[in-house]
Amino acid sequence: MKTTENRIFIVGASGHGSVAADAARHAGREVVGFLDSFKPTGQVVRGIPILGHPDNLADLLKRHDVRRLFLGISDNWTRQQVAAKLRAAVPDFELTSILHPQSVVATDVVLGPGTLVLAGAIINTGCLIAENCIVNTKASLDHDGEMRSCASLLPGVTTGGNCVIGECACVCVGAILSHKVSIGDHAVVGAGAVVLHDVPPCSLAYGVPARVVRSRQPGERHF
């Protein structure tokens, strides 16, 4: 059944936005269209039209009778900046989360708005997920874990219990975090790393076991 509550826009029509759109459809959501800053209005991506530029959000929400929005932007810093810009321009839109029906989310998990949980992902009991996070395909966050605003676990990441992923931090494909490890704000853990100790904010760590190899700046792309 189509309802206003079920209708969503997705900002970003590239790979991550397309994955989010597919997950939304599997969850029974109606993806009315993409909004994109780089692709032309009228182009069709994965069978979904690009309806306009995000700068025209207020008009597009009204024109298409949509209230809910998802940010299909994979880069954590960019997603955070776009969210702030859109909220300043259009304060009353609603960020919506997308949970693929083949994900497993414990009943007591606190899930912030704008978060994406993809197929095969597992979020165990006691976890706290802030707004605009990504738990990608087959990633898992074990019991009592925390993801702060705009953090991401990429495909196949495994964490032990009581781990903390800082604001805008990214744990890349296939990395493993031992129990009680904290990843600092704006830090990046490289693909396949095995993290046994905390990773400081604004740093890049990789290897087996993972070691900090250099510092990085907020806003530096993480892949």
**Tokens 């859109």 label which residue?**
86
Range 36-62 average pLDDT: 97
Range 54-79 average pLDDT: 97
In the chain, residues under CATH classification 2.160.10.10 are: 98-211
**pTM for this model (two decimals):** 0.96
> What's CA 223's distance to the chain center, in Å?
14
Determine the topology of domain 4-95 in CATH.
Rossmann fold (3.40.50)
With a CB cutoff of 8 Å and minimum separation 6, the contacts of 174 are 155, 156, 157, 191, 192
CATH class of 98-211: mainly beta
DSSP secondary structure string for all residues of 121-142: -EE-TT-EE-TT-EE-TT-EE-
Run of H or E residues at 58: helix 57-63
In the chain, residues under CATH classification 3.40.50.20 are: 4-95
Residue 5 has pLDDT above 80, yes or no: no
pLDDT for 221 equals 85
